[in-house]
Amino acid sequence: MTWSTILPQLQNVDISTDYATVLLPDGVIVYIGGRAVAGVARSDLNHTIDGSSIEPRNGHSAVLTKRGDIIVYGGETSTNGTNPMQSDVLVLDTNTWEWSNPNISSINAPPPLLGHSAAIYGNYMILAFGQASSTHYNNIYILDVEHYTWVTTITSAN
């Protein structure tokens, strides 16, 4: 029950709202993205981690797969109030701490979402609800995390 930093460059990050967290099997809690309460400043997800260029965001979701990858979906990246929502799926390999952005078909994909929830069930990431601009959604979306394909049914929870 102590605080520590696995990446020393992140010690001075002042993010306190709209971030995503993931608990790793070794008890480490990973905080991803977010913004300062007093403003719209977003945490840069890529300034200390090698891999793909990742835009800062808040209001996104994150889940941990059985392989140990963290999958991040959606969120908002605007810092000037225009609120561009993201529909990308980002993957953080927790062994190398490198980001990737898998090429996923848009068939059955959700709209860009903010403030949604996500959970992992077997090999599936399940997204629920959320909003895009002024529209609120009450839909459920399913991503097969083994094949990186949006699906409409779960065949097995393997």
| Chain segment 110-137, per-residue pLDDT in tens | 988 888 999 999 999 999 999 877 788 8
Domain ranges of the chain: 13-158
pTM (2 d.p.): 0.80
pLDDT in tens, 6-64: 554 444 455 567 888 899 998 888 888 877 665 555 555 544 444 556 677 888 999 99
What is the rounded distance in angstroms from the CA atom of residue 74 to the CA atom of residue 6? 25
CATH ID of 13-158, from 3.30.565.10, 2.30.42.10, 3.10.20.30, 2.120.10.80: 2.120.10.80
